[in-house]
Amino acid sequence: GFSMSIFRQIAQYNKPKAIRDPSKKPALVRFSFEDSAESNMQFFFKSIYENETGLFAEESGYTPEQMSEYVLKHTNEWGWSIFFFDVDPGQWTYKNICNEILRLEARGYEVRLCMLDYLLKIPTTGCTQGPSGVDIRNLYERVKAFMAARKITMITPHQLSADTKNKVREGTSNFVKEMVDGGYYAGT
């Protein structure tokens, strides 16, 4: 929910602009490796509706088509094209993410935000292998490098490791300094 709220706020409160090619349409993209595109659309609809009207949105009163129309109407008014992808993470690698961005670019869009919910779910096929966590770090590096070259903001939530959670519970005061060269996210 938190990352979907951020996604909606980016769409609603930021002026859309293509930076690299002004002839392209600015787009926001969300890849979900957990939730369906329909579920994401429902959340997005509810968030916009309740923010706009101050009323509780009973999702059962709206069809998926009505919710989609409502969301697209607003995002178009805000100047954005949005894309929700729900993906089976076991069938994808980081290359599929990059290829989907390239397809959108070929269709005339300039992706300004790519939200990955969440990157750690996909296999590290094609990434550098080594001691625990090397492949995950390389996965993040590869996706980040691809997005940075295109000036695409990339956001992906991730889970903290058990060691990190213990440090937080202990009240570690210099946590950021202790993170250097550590494996403080899940899987490392």
Tens of pLDDT, residues 145-171: 999 999 999 999 877 777 777 777 887
Token couple for 134: 């090397």
Cβ neighbourhood burial of 149 (10 Å; 0-12, 13-18, 19+): exposed
pLDDT at 187: 58
Banded model confidence at residue 15, pLDDT cuts 50, 70, 90: very high
More confident site: 187 or 138 = 138
Banded model confidence at residue 142, pLDDT cuts 50, 70, 90: very high
Q: Is the pLDDT of residue 184 over 70?
A: no
Three-state DSSP class for residue 130: coil
pLDDT at 4: 87
pLDDT at 176: 65
Residue 154: strand pairing partners: 114
Exposure class string for 111-126: b at 16+ Cβ within 10 A, else e: bbbbbbbbbbbbebee
Lowest mean pLDDT among 84-88, 117-121, 158-162: 158-162
- Per-residue pLDDT of 33-76, as tens digits, reads 988 888 888 898 998 988 888 888 875 688 889 989 999 999 99
